Structure 1
Amino acid sequence: MTRSINKWALLALLVVLAMMHGSPARAEDELMGLQEIVDQANPGATLVLKPGTYQGPVVVNKPLTIRTEGEGNVELINRSQLPALSIDADGTTVAGLHITDGMVKETPTVLVRGHRAVLNGLYIRTGGDGIAVRDADEGLVTNTTIDWAAEGVRLADKGNGVDVFNGHRWRFMDNTIRDVHDGIYMENSDDTRVTGNRIERSRYGIHCMYTNRTVIERNEGSLNVTGAMVMTARQVSVIGNSFSKQSENVNSQGILLYDTHDSVLADNTVDGNRVGLYVELSTGNRLENNEVRYNFVGIQLLDSSSNSIAHNRFTGNVADAQARSSEDNRIIENYWDNFRGIDANGDGNSDISYAINPLFQELTKKRPAFQLFFQSPGMVFLEGLYQSDRDRWTTDAAPLMTPPMSENQIGDAEGRTLTGIAGLVLLGCTGTLFFWMRRRMS
């Protein structure tokens, strides 16, 4: 009898142990604690994280280098209202982490308050700002992808991909940002370089306010409301960028300057936008060698003066230009494909100036609803009749008869010239050799 009881007791124990072994573990139990690893590290140490999933939030309050053993195999998950990663120490580097922080919240996924931070090769899925910089200088964000994670959130309620406030001398290079509010937003932040980034399906791709000496170079933006918005800024360089297909919103532009001064827009391509170049309340800027094509309006000038607009190519736009109260600008030697000039002396410039009719802008300023009549037959007819104060119209004094070549086209032409010269030299050598051989044979 005792032996039988012992058998049943042993069997029951085995069943309980099997059930305990087979029960699924909770996700929280499987996450490794990254904060403990950070806390145990010495200042200046390099932490190489093993593959796996780690629990956030994490605060780095000492200079560390945190990187992964391999690309894409270390994930930091945050389910709290706090930032997934806070960098409070100067000289911190974080590389290779995948950060998932999908809760919609006011706090950012990565918060940087330490100087000289480096974020490299991160993949961030965010429900707030992807990366927020606050009162920190001289950092770098490179080769990082930021995607909006939460569904069903209006564009106006989303966070920014990168949000910088009072952060100077930062560099943002070769990043990809999608489906956020503003791709890269900078405020009160000087001497920042934004180069080689791609930003899609956001409000403003690149947005700077109250900044000086910002460099926006070789970026690509598409399907945003505005590609690059420069507001209340000075000495900004917008060079070699491509902004296309910003046309879904009534306020869409390729590049917008508002209250911007002493800045340069050069060698950009703005293609298929509602307005290619928009300039308002801005002075002392240079707009040169830009390719402005297939937009509803090539360029709009509103209440702007003392700007230089030269050697740009306006092709395939529904309307090449619109202007209002912007007669005091230097506009010369641009190509307008809707304009038919006369070049009597053959210098390549039209002897007839190109004057931008202000009627539509004057009407829509007083009656915004008249925008519905943009380029309608009736509006075109009225513009043809309107000639009031023509001497005050914004005018290109010497428009080009043919489009100027871009740097790429010049390079291609030089390459073809060199190829032709090489071919002629080779042909000459071959002919000389053939002639010499004939003489020897004779």
Structure 2
Amino acid sequence: MRKYQVTGLSCAIAPLVVGMGALAPAASARSGSEQVVSPGQSIQKAVDAAAPGATIVLTRGTYRGSVTITKPLTLRGAEGQTVIVPGEDEEERSACAEAGNGICVTGTDAQPVTGVRVRSLTVEGFKKNGVLATRTDQLEVHRVTARDNGQWGIAQDRSTRASFRHNTASGNGDAGLYTANVFEADAESETLDTRGTVISGNRLTGNRIGMTTRRLRNLTVEHNAVTGNCAGVFVVLPRTVGDLTVRRNAVYENNTSCPATARLPHLQGIGIVLVGTKEVLVAQNAVHDNVGDSPYSGGIVVFGSMDGIPNDRNVVRDNLVLGNHPADLATRDDKGKDNKFIDNICQTSEPAGAC
């Protein structure tokens, strides 16, 4: 075992200063491609009227109602002072609102919506999801807080080249941040090449699962803080050879207990879990003090899928994995081949000998 030093994970976010001036009584154009919206006005009407590439600026305050974006534009709030919550008696309820979602970014198979940016706002209290994106390219979700939503905080499927950076997801009913090939969990479609999606610098706390990535490749998960959930990070079924890297994350004290569902047993004390994965790299993470009695409990766990799909040729190396129970490193219910545990700092493993 070689000497190893783990540097601290910094998730500090520099405040964004947005000078709005006095609140205008009606939405007004500024600098030709920028439109200012104030509480009481309709974000959706501003989005519908905006030209592609425009910026919708939301001043501080609370906005009621869902928003659907189907063209390239920027939706920007005043950091933590702009809050979007469910609306009451909306004049024309959209499909996004009917489904119980906050912000929907929606393209088509033939024409994915490209270049949408959602920044510096809070999406709170929706029945289903805070931010839901499907069929997008180059989506950016930065400095968004998604809290207390019924299912996912921030979620995306069928999409490429996305950037999820410096967001906070807390108190959501399932995953704080969920990315997948397709949302339908039973769909046996092929692994999707995300073409370089990055999930970085996010803080995920108080959710059922901090983060889930399902059937994706060419994806990087790095520098995230994942704590206080029932489970930290699930990486599920990327089966096509390609880059999927989980590195330099802090995953600790995910010890809340959540009951079983139709698809999963009860969850508690879970750090990072690989389920039916192939050639995933898990490196230089600090995974500590995840303690529970779920089948998935432990620090870094390699677990066979419910369908019997094994984990093959994954590499777990250079991680600090301590204080986890029942084990720091574990392989369970898996018949995979050539999974490697290299130069990790740990004390306990299942089976013995991986530390």
Output one character per residue of 1:143-199: Cα deviation in whole Å (capped at 9) or x when no partner.
1111116xxxxxxxx220011011111100011110002111111151321000001
- Aligned match of 2:19: none
Shift of 1:74: 3.7
2:57 corresponds, among 57, 60, 67, to 67
1:162 corresponds, among 154, 164, 172, to 154
Describe the SS at the equivalent of 1:159. coil
- Aligned match of 1:261: 278
Q: Which has the larger radius of gyration?
A: 1
Describe the SS at the equivalent of 1:133. strand
- Aligned match of 1:194: 199
Q: 1:256 to 1:105 in 2, by over 3 A?
A: farther
- Aligned match of 1:379: none
Give the 5 Å matches for 1:301-316.
Answer: 301-302=331-332, 303=334, 304-315=336-347
- Aligned match of 1:76: 63
Describe the SS at the equivalent of 2:124. strand
| 8 Å CA contact 1:59, 1:87 repeated in 2 | no
Q: TM-score, with normalisation over the residues of structure 1?
A: 0.57
Distance 2:328 2:25 in 1: 55
Distance 2:159 2:245 in 1: 18
User: Which has the higher relative contact order, 1 or 2, with Cα contacts under 8 A spaced 6 or more apart?
Assistant: 2
Distance 1:93 1:85 in 2: 10
Output one character per residue of 1:100-157: Cα deviation in whole Å (capped at 9) or x when no partner.
22789633100012321111111111322010001111011111111116xxxxxxxx
Give the 5 Å matches for 1:135-146.
Answer: 135-146=135-146
| 8 Å CA contact 2:37, 2:43 repeated in 1 | no
- Aligned match of 2:185: none
Shift of 1:245: 1.3
Distance 1:75 1:241 in 2: 33
Output one character per residue of 1:276-327: Cα deviation in whole Å (capped at 9) or x when no partner.
0110221111111111111111111132321221110114xxxx1113xxxx
Shift of 1:44: 6.9
1:89 corresponds, among 58, 61, 71, to 71
- Say whether residues 1:299 and 2:325 are aligned partners: no
Describe the SS at the equivalent of 1:119. strand
Q: Which has the higher helix share?
A: 1
- Aligned match of 1:380: none
Instruction: For 1:160, give the aligned amino acid.
Output: W
Which sections of structure 2, spanning at least 5 residues, go unmatched?
1-23, 89-96, 107-112, 182-191, 258-265, 292-297, 304-309
Q: 1:183 to 1:33 in 2, by over 3 A?
A: farther
Distance 1:117 1:143 in 2: 14
Distance 1:261 1:48 in 2: 47
Which sections of structure 1, spanning at least 5 residues, go unmatched?
1-31, 79-83, 150-157, 324-355, 357-394, 400-442
- Aligned match of 2:208: 203
Over aligned residues, Cα RMSD in angstroms?
A: 2.7
- Aligned match of 2:188: none
- Aligned match of 2:171: 179
Higher mean displacement: 199-208 or 295-304: 295-304
| 8 Å CA contact 1:235, 1:261 repeated in 2 | no
Q: 1:306 to 1:138 in 2, by over 3 A?
A: same
Q: Percent identity?
A: 20
Describe the SS at the equivalent of 1:60. helix
| 8 Å CA contact 1:54, 1:74 repeated in 2 | no
Give the 5 Å matches for 1:422-433.
Answer: none
- Say whether residues 1:46 and 2:34 are aligned partners: yes
Instruction: For 2:267, give the aligned amino acid.
Output: N
Output one character per residue of 1:379-408: Cα deviation in whole Å (capped at 9) or x when no partner.
xxxxxxxxxxxxxxxx45xx6xxxxxxxxx
Q: TM-score, with normalisation over the residues of structure 2?
A: 0.70
Instruction: For 1:132, give the aligned amino acid.
Output: L
Output one character per residue of 1:253-298: Cα deviation in whole Å (capped at 9) or x when no partner.
1000011111111111111113101102211111111111111111
Output one character per residue of 1:206-264: Cα deviation in whole Å (capped at 9) or x when no partner.
10111011111010111212111000115311001011112333533100001111111
- Aligned match of 2:349: 321
2:83 corresponds, among 86, 98, 122, to 98
Shift of 1:49: 3.3
| 8 Å CA contact 1:236, 1:263 repeated in 2 | yes
Q: 1:244 to 1:130 in 2, by over 3 A?
A: same
Describe the SS at the equivalent of 1:314. coil
Distance 2:222 2:300 in 1: 16
| 8 Å CA contact 1:177, 1:200 repeated in 2 | yes
Describe the SS at the equivalent of 2:282. strand
| 8 Å CA contact 2:289, 2:324 repeated in 1 | yes
